[in-house]
A = this chain, B = another copy of it.
Amino acid sequence: MRNLTKESIENIATGASFMGAGGGGNPYIGKLMVLAALEQGGHPITLLDVTEVDPDALYIPVACMGAPSVMMEKFPRGDEFQKVIRALEKHLGKQVKGTFPIEAGGVNSMIPLVLAAQTGLPVVDCDSMGRAFPELQMTTLHLAGVRCAPMVVADEKGNLSVLETVTDKWAELLARDMTVEMGATACVAQYASTGQQLQDGAIHGIVTKCEQIGAIVHDHKLGTQEKRQAIVEVTGGYHLFDGKVVDVIQKVVGGFNRGTIVLEGLNASTGQTMEISYQNENLVAHIDGQLVISVPDLICFTDVDSLVPITTEEVKYGKRMTVFGLPSDDKWRTEAGVDLVGPRYFGFDFDFVTVEELLHERGAK
């Protein structure tokens, strides 16, 4: 158990942007909300290790749902997070003892911290994706049998819905429609879990991992190559490509950002061309026509010099980026995990192969 300093929060936000795998929205606005909540006399934010939770107590993640490109312009009011968690608490008839990020990547890394500063609820150092994913049923808690619903969806205008659904996919469908109608973003509380369920089904230590990545990016004593190396070490990932953005096709479809990004290589050592397909998050990448990584493994963008993470909606023509590939959590690399979030779910006609294997094959050629 420890309190998060302002510096920790800055680092977590930066690391969360990296771990968003291009998606989840830029945590910048979320970070400003956390810092504002603290300055406005908020509670200190306590981070609990997963070993420290009460196995029988109730923990509920709060999050923003919808198109991150819209979220950048249509902010939450700020009181929705308390509203959704209190509504779910009331519906369940049980008091909530803490919160956690449903996804460590992107803006949803910050929302539980806003709630914590507003209410004094501790934040558990875990999430349910180890990254960001676009749909509600795409969680390791789902794999562990925890249900998404009952869930609460609310907007900044004061509309609120308590959903009970027969499957997590139905929660996704109904909450997504509501999110689109509410103006392409909404606040949600879902996946109410016991401490025991977090110990069994969540991804542990992910907030701290984000903090470590952010600390590397912000470390002015490190040069570009040292930062790159440190990120590879702390994430267990790979430096895939350095390139300049030469094409971006982006559209908002049904509350999602979708598109393709094309990079032209900056140096021969990583390849000539990289092409990345995304739906909010980066899904699949090819270098010179060869598949090098796919979901659930993570494709993460940073600025080529500063190593500051870049989300898909920030990608523009001419941007010079370094692309990292990270192995996903082992919970995703199961048959059930790959069925839920593997390349076939997103419409690609090939099976999941780990980034390690794909790079090994590429190296072997």
Question: Which residues of A (162-220) have their CB < 8 Å from a CB of B?
Answer: 162-166, 170, 173-174, 177-178, 180-182
A253 to chain B, nearest CB (A): 16
Interface centre among A157, A161, A162, A182 (most CB of B within 10 A): A161
Taking CB atoms, residues of chain B closer than 8 Å to A160 are 163-165
Q: Does A347 contact B (CB under 8 A)?
A: no
- Once the chains are docked, how many angstroms separate the CA of A360 from the CA of B104? 70
Q: Does A40 contact B (CB under 8 A)?
A: no
User: Is the beta-carbon distance between A165 and B159 smaller than 8 angstroms?
Assistant: yes
- Once the chains are docked, how many angstroms separate the CA of A166 from the CA of B177? 18
Taking CB atoms, residues of chain B closer than 8 Å to A145 are none
| Chain A: interface residue total (CB-CB under 8 A) | 18
User: Is the beta-carbon distance between B178 and A174 smaller than 8 angstroms?
Assistant: yes
User: Is the beta-carbon distance between A161 and B164 smaller than 8 angstroms?
Assistant: yes
- Once the chains are docked, how many angstroms separate the CA of A180 from the CA of B178? 11
Q: Does A363 contact B (CB under 8 A)?
A: no
Q: Does A289 contact B (CB under 8 A)?
A: no
A152 to chain B, nearest CB (A): 9
Taking CB atoms, residues of chain B closer than 8 Å to A166 are 157-159
Taking CB atoms, residues of chain B closer than 8 Å to A163 are 159-161
Q: How many copies does the complex hold?
A: 2
Look across to chain B and name the residue whose beta carbon is closest to the beta carbon of A173.
B181
- Once the chains are docked, how many angstroms separate the CA of A159 from the CA of B173? 11
- Once the chains are docked, how many angstroms separate the CA of A1 from the CA of B174? 41
- Once the chains are docked, how many angstroms separate the CA of A161 from the CA of B164? 6
- Once the chains are docked, how many angstroms separate the CA of A181 from the CA of B164? 14
- Once the chains are docked, how many angstroms separate the CA of A255 from the CA of B306? 51
Partner of A162, one of B157, B161, B182: B161
Look across to chain B and name the residue whose beta carbon is closest to the beta carbon of A160.
B164
Taking CB atoms, residues of chain B closer than 8 Å to A162 are 161-162
- Once the chains are docked, how many angstroms separate the CA of A86 from the CA of B159? 22
User: Is the beta-carbon distance between A164 and B173 smaller than 8 angstroms?
Assistant: no
Partner of A181, one of B161, B174, B182: B174
Question: Which residues of A (129-169) have their CB < 8 Å from a CB of B?
Answer: 157-166
User: Is the beta-carbon distance between B159 and A170 smaller than 8 angstroms?
Assistant: yes
Partner of A164, one of B159, B177, B182: B159
Taking CB atoms, residues of chain B closer than 8 Å to A161 are 161-164, 174
- Once the chains are docked, how many angstroms separate the CA of A165 from the CA of B154? 9
Partner of A177, one of B157, B165, B170, B180: B180
- Once the chains are docked, how many angstroms separate the CA of A162 from the CA of B174? 12
Residues of A within 8 A of B (CB): 157-166, 170, 173-174, 177-178, 180-182
Listed by A's residue number, 6 A-B pairs whose Cβ atoms lie within 8 Å are: A158-B166, A159-B165, A159-B170, A161-B163, A174-B178, A177-B177
Ranked nearest first, the 7 interchain pairs of A and B with the lowest CB-CB distance are: A177-B177, A158-B166, A162-B162, A160-B164, A161-B163, A159-B165, A177-B181
Further contacts, 6 of them, CB under 8 A, given A157-B170, A159-B165, A178-B178 = A159-B166, A159-B170, A160-B164, A173-B181, A174-B178, A177-B181
